[in-house]
Structure 1
Amino acid sequence: MTETKLFLLPGDGIGPEIMAEVEAIIAFLNAKGLTNFVTDRGLVGGCAYDAHGAAISEADMQKALAADAVLFGAVGGPKWDSVPYEVRPEAGLLRLRKDLGLFANLRPAICYPALADASSLKADLVEGLDILIVRELTGGVYFGEPKEIVTLENGQKRAVDTQLYTTSEIERIARVAFDLARTRNSRVASAEKRNVMKSGVLWNQVVTRIGKDEFADVKLEHVLADNCAMQLVRRPKQYDVIVTDNLFGDILSDVAAMLTGSLGMLPSASLGAPDAATGKRKALYEPVHGSAPDIAGTGAANPIAMIASFGMALRYSFGLVDLATKLDQAIAGVLGKGLRTKDIAKAGEATITTKEMGAAILAEFKTLVG
């Protein structure tokens, strides 16, 4: 079996704890002969700053570029609040996205039946929820120039962030969304702010053209991003695939995340363009949640989002759809048995630790794999 390189970047806070549970699944798959993953570890975020004075070292960046996929934990924490902006922990993730060309971020928001009551919304609004948010990841206001804080002649300071998109950037993310919609319910909602932003006008025009010319079989609707946020809370199951820009995607995906009961439940995938020779995409997989330094080392972290992110890697990077499906089923099975980490437990309900949840999912997965 061909070797497959996985580069692990656990990061800060709870990152190393949740990554350990994925490593146990990788070890099982390799021992079973179902995969031949070769793993390597690196530093990213605050721990990389402590070791190298940068949010990711050049050596680890090269390892990420050479890997078949990158698994990323979480970065940041109060310890690094005062470090220079250019080397803040989050800069490591931004560089990975930029240098790997990861322009398409896929964030599913799935409400497992057993967790419908854990959502902040009524169970009937979220039970069976299955939304996929496709977020443009390498353009927009996070990367546009100028990006600066300057002192004016009158002594006041002025901060500038630039929202910038080109036709080709919008075209490629739109095609990803339409392609994925074809594998689901063939519905795309495009979210922007065309009423007040010129970038929103262009986004609307380009997505409309791509939908009409190339994906006439997919139903397209346009929604203002602020209204989309409201609709996600009002009636979330009206959506199938939502495609949006970097800033609005960041916000809307976190709104959708909380519909499921906990940020600790949601995975994500960030994909690049297919290689012209091999057809393979650079890819990074990470949980939506942050580093949660307040619970690091306590055993309270929920590893499900990290495990599900690995499941997305099996599906999108390695074509191991059956294993990915069984891993999703294992997560659902464990939740169906009433096992809960603290973040998804009701008041007074018994909870289990990070390691116990990881072990339970692995045991269920082993049963399904056979």
Structure 2
Amino acid sequence: MKRKVAVLPGDGIGQEVMNGALAVLKAVGDQFGHQFEVIQGDIGGVAIDSHGTPLPKQTLELCKECDAVLLGAVGGPKWKDVPVQLRPEKGLLGIRKELGLFANLRPISTFKSLLDASPLKRNVVQGVDFVIVRELTGGLYFGKPSERRGENKEVAVDTLHYERSEIEKVVHKAFQLASNRRKKLTSVDKANVLESSRLWREVVDEISGDYPDVEVEHLLVDAAAMKIVYQPTQFDVIVTENMFGDILSDEASMLTGSLGMLPSASLREDHFGLYEPVHGSAPDIAGEDKANPMAMMLSVAMMLKHSFGLKEEAEMVEKAVQEVLDTGYRTDDLKELGSGTIVGTEAMSQLVVEQIEPNHAMSSILSTYL
């Protein structure tokens, strides 16, 4: 069975980290006898330069024809002065909406060999293992343009809009995830202030009856923000609306010490998903062989697990990353640890690939795809 993957490297370090991800995918295919056909497309700033839009029609059609999407990163100062509707980030928001990717999963797990990379104390972050499920296609980020700014430019309005059906979909996804983990769901809202949050809490309570084995708690978003930094091990699955999820997941990323270690998945109701690292395009280090490719590689692991049902293969990728870290290799973003061997993007990618498929040169793997 051949699986088709749309590959959208995007901007900045996107292509660099994508190279490592494709090498990992090829190595997994060789080891387990799978076939992955990858087809590259443009999104973000490079798409603006080439097509005049951050989300070309042909890119969207490509994604619809594939079984999953791998995305590098979008954005950069080069495009800071383009009209708002043409910003690179609009490509990302657009593809989520057009593909119906309503649930964003961000696993937050600490690596034993990187505990000292976190700005928090070792005893606080040790054993952290939770997932943030963020609603992705509603809320403030999708207010109508006419509602965002008054004619005199002195008034700005953003509309936080949710329909019950939108909340139900993402809450069911979170409950299903919790059912297969440690059976605890934390729903985060601002129900003491916002009507949309009161609807959110109402829906969570109604749906909880379908999952009697899952413990449910409600937290206001400010309380959740505090607990993430002083009691992070208490969480299993967190579910919340779009903007709260965006902010809390970036906060939680600091538990691991680097955005370069965090993957994410954006899913719809079938097995289709878009997989990307949490980090941005980092234009300041683009082309310098300094980027950490591990989040992109771990995003491949999430794709193998969630879109293709290849759990053993996903675990092999995760184990390969762990073993390389345990050996003491680090990329530039982790150099403050004060120990270990600092290597570049390409060398780190090679090290991870060798854990999956020994004796294969990186150049020969990449030549299959690039």
Shared fold, TM over 0.5: yes
Q: Which residue matches 1:278?
A: none
Across the aligned residues of Structure 1 and Structure 2, the Cα RMSD in angstroms comes to: 1.2
Kept in 2, the 8 Å contact 1:101–1:282? The answer is no
Q: Which residue matches 2:242?
A: 246
Within 5 Å, give how 1:1-370 maps onto structure 2.
Answer: 2-32=1-31, 34-145=33-144, 147-152=147-152, 157-211=154-208, 213-274=209-270, 281-346=271-336, 348-349=338-339, 350-366=341-357
Q: Quick one: distance in 2 between partners of 1:33 and 1:234? A: 42
In structure 1, give the amino acid aligned to 2:300.
Answer: F
Q: Quick one: distance in 1 between partners of 2:42 and 2:91? A: 9
1:247 partner SS: helix
Pairwise CA distance, 1:51: 0.4
In structure 1, give the amino acid aligned to 2:149.
Answer: I
Aligned residues: 356
Q: Quick one: distance in 1 between partners of 2:31 and 2:277? A: 26
Pairwise CA distance, 1:29: 3.0
Q: Quick one: distance in 2 between partners of 1:205 and 1:57? A: 39
Q: Quick one: distance in 1 between partners of 2:259 and 2:31? A: 32
* Structure 1 residue runs without a partner (length 5+): 275-280
1:189 partner SS: strand
Pairwise CA distance, 1:65: 1.1
- TM-score normalised by L of structure 1: 0.94
* Structure 2 residue runs without a partner (length 5+): 359-370
1:159 partner SS: coil
1:150 partner SS: coil
Kept in 2, the 8 Å contact 1:4–1:68? The answer is yes
Pairwise CA distance, 1:352: 0.5
Q: Quick one: distance in 1 between partners of 2:293 and 2:127? A: 22
Pairwise CA distance, 1:282: 2.5
Pairwise CA distance, 1:235: 1.0
Pairwise CA distance, 1:238: 0.8
In structure 1, give the amino acid aligned to 2:5.
Answer: L
Instruction: Deviation per CA, 1:123-150: give whole Å up to 9, x if none.
Output: 1111121110000000111113354212
Q: Quick one: distance in 2 between partners of 1:165 and 1:215? A: 23
Kept in 2, the 8 Å contact 1:112–1:332? The answer is yes
Pairwise CA distance, 1:33: 5.3
Instruction: Deviation per CA, 1:285-327: give whole Å up to 9, x if none.
Output: 0000000000001111000000000000000000110010111
Q: Quick one: distance in 2 between partners of 1:223 and 1:91? A: 31
- TM-score normalised by L of structure 2: 0.94
Pairwise CA distance, 1:364: 1.2
